Amino acid sequence: MKKLTEPEIMAILRAADELIGEGGRNLLAKILKGSKEKKLLALHLDKCPVYGYFHKLSLAEVIEKIDWMIKHDFLEIQYSGRLPMIVFTDRGWELERDQRADEILAEWYQWIEQDDFSHDMTYLKDRNRGMILILLDKIKETGERRFIPLLEKWGEIDYKKVRKEIRATISHIVKNKATESDENWQIIRAELLKGRNPRDVDLKCMKCGNIFPFRTFERYMYFTNQWRYPRLCPECDQENR
């Protein structure tokens, strides 16, 4: 079949996020098809933002798109006993965690526009640490001071390491430091969407503007440890230290 579009890739990743390690290809296809099956409704999978995204297609056609995602290393099958379960590949999760951070940020914008700061922030506790760091980076980039009450509520209930990052985010907003757009992520995101394996790439230093190489083994190490990608070249990083 022909290559999927970027919106199709992101929709399938978002639907997969609802059942990673708990459901297989057929259940994923039914979410995207918009099935009214009792099991799906009982699990509230109809609340997924991309529920029914491929409602005009047959179930077989949706499964074909999911198989394309597996073939091109965005998703994979792992077995729980004899049951085949959908899970993210490294490439797929790297794209999805950025999408989920954007989703949470959009939700926060709705809350502050409604002057609604009553939400229970425990829904962010125990989330993937890499995704949380991306979310906090995005919040810093907004410079939006109205986020501070939400950040403070969040900081009251989360773990020590996350509280530290939340405090740093609040401090950044209060000081109103300018933040450059993250060109590095855009480079890596475009590469992942093209279906290529991680390789050496050139990144731009956010301090001096020079280009520096980010090696394949470094990218793997950063991903597996859920670290943010380097924003400074080795020279500027050494100066900071």
Residues 125-167 have pLDDT tens digits of 999 999 999 999 999 988 888 899 999 999 999 999 999 999 9
44 has pLDDT over 70: yes
Q: What is the rounded average pLDDT of the residues 95-124? A: 92
Whether the CB-CB separation of 97 and 89 falls below 8 Å is answered with no
180 has pLDDT over 50: no
Q: What is the rounded average pLDDT of the residues 118-128? A: 92
The sign of the dihedral angle between the CA atoms of 99, 103, 108, 110 is positive
Residue whose structure tokens are 């020590």:
160
pLDDT at 211: 86
pLDDT at 178: 43
User: Confidence class of residue 223 from pLDDT cuts 50, 70 and 90?
Assistant: low
* Sheet strands (E) in 52-105: 75-80, 83-88
Higher pLDDT, 222 or 105: 105
Q: What is the rounded average pLDDT of the residues 63-92? A: 94
Higher pLDDT, 168 or 226: 168
pTM of the model: 0.73
Whole-number Å distance between alpha carbons of 229 and 128: 16
Distance, C-alpha 114 to centroid of its chain:
25
